[in-house]
Amino acid sequence: MTTDPHAGDAEPGGPTAGPRLRVLVVDDDRDLREVVAETLDLDPRITVVARAHDGEEAVRLASEVSPDVVLMDVNMPRLDGPAATERIVAAHPDVRVVALTGTVDPDAVTRMILAGAVGYAVKGGDPALLADIVVDASRSAYFVDPSALDDLFRSVVVLAREERRRRAEAEQLAADLSRGYRETVTALVNALRSRDCDTEEHGDRVAEMVVAVGRRLGFDEEQLSDVEYGATFHDIGKIAVPDAILHNTDDLTEAEWRVIRQHTVVGEEIIRPIGFLRNVSRIVRHSHEHWDGSGYPDQLKGETIPIESRVVFACDAFDAMTSKRTYQDAMSDEQALVRMRELSGVHFDPDVVEALVAEVEAGTGATPEPQVAPAP
């Protein structure tokens, strides 16, 4: 490596009207590096202020000698051209980097441009043309060595074909991931259903209902997908509830209720490690929160409860009211809607209740008259 502390000064009486462009030449081939540097030094518009044999040295010299343009080899030991270019451009945004390549390799050119190079030149070309390239690089946003236009066209074709291949691979990967997601979902649903037959049918009905209610509330497709999964898995934490409690037909003790109330937390922990269900885990955790803050597990209140959780809770409650269980008779839809309205603003989000009522009435054709429920 050599540097000239006085390089860049205008020569008295020379053909340039201002300071010469300061150029740093980087190449691990010593002979080629010297030929390029000597060729550029012959041009009155340019002075080579330093030479570097690899990317590490280039990064250091760029800070020491403040070049205007860096001619950068692509493939070098220790630190290659793209990595060195990225570091130089990040530290010195005004420095223009030109990729110096032996051939027009699409991958090499792409990596250099993405790293911050403004264009490229081909090694072994016309010396006068190389000097013009350096000058153009200092003035233009992007440029191409004219001698490489034919190779560039072929490179574009290669890149287009490569992009098409990568897109096909990405589509196949997406399909494989989607299949994996479905298999994961199926395994979790089967684990839930093996514990409780009531839960199987209940989960299916609630999942269908939350999508319909979500549409009435203006959910986008991602929200509809999340809320459907949330309904499917809202009780999955009951896998951790002992059978003696889960199937108990008597009044539960406070200790047993504490176990039951943990099922949403357990459900969240089961689902959270599955990447595509991460948002769903939050819905599951808060699927038993009450609008007035009296729910569990975090006693969230009002709109601090995720809207998807509010929908799941209301639809879950409606389905429970209208289903025959070992501990209760089923209400009619009309009776259940009356009860839902009574608890609107207490347990349930009023907007969600109205959307649910509209969906049920649209499905049954019924319009229940307001009723006064007996005092509890």
Q: Which residues pair with 46 in a beta bridge?
A: 21
**Class of CATH domain 196-364:** mainly alpha
How far CA 362 is from CA of 143, 268, 357, 367, in Å, comes to 65, 33, 8, 9
Where are the domains positioned within the chain? 21-159, 196-364
| Amino acid 200: pLDDT | 56
Q: How confident is the model at residue 235 (pLDDT cuts 50, 70, 90)?
A: confident
| Amino acid 127: pLDDT | 72
The answer, yes or no, to whether residue 176 has pLDDT greater than 80, is no
The answer, yes or no, to whether residue 365 has pLDDT greater than 50, is no
Backbone φ and ψ of 206, nearest 5°: -65, -40
Q: Which residues contact 132 (CB under 8 A, 6 or more apart)?
A: none
Reported pTM: 0.52
pLDDT, one tens digit per residue, over 317-352 is 999 899 876 667 889 999 999 999 999 999 999 999
For 12, counting Cβ atoms within 10 Å of its Cβ (0-12 exposed, 13-18 middle, 19+ buried), the class is: exposed
Contact 154, 104 (CB under 8 A): yes
Bond before 297 cis per omega within 30 degrees: yes
Mean pLDDT of the chain: 81
CATH annotation of 21-159: 3.40.50.2300
Burial call 260-272: b when 16+ CB within 10 Å, e when fewer:
bebbbbbbbebbb
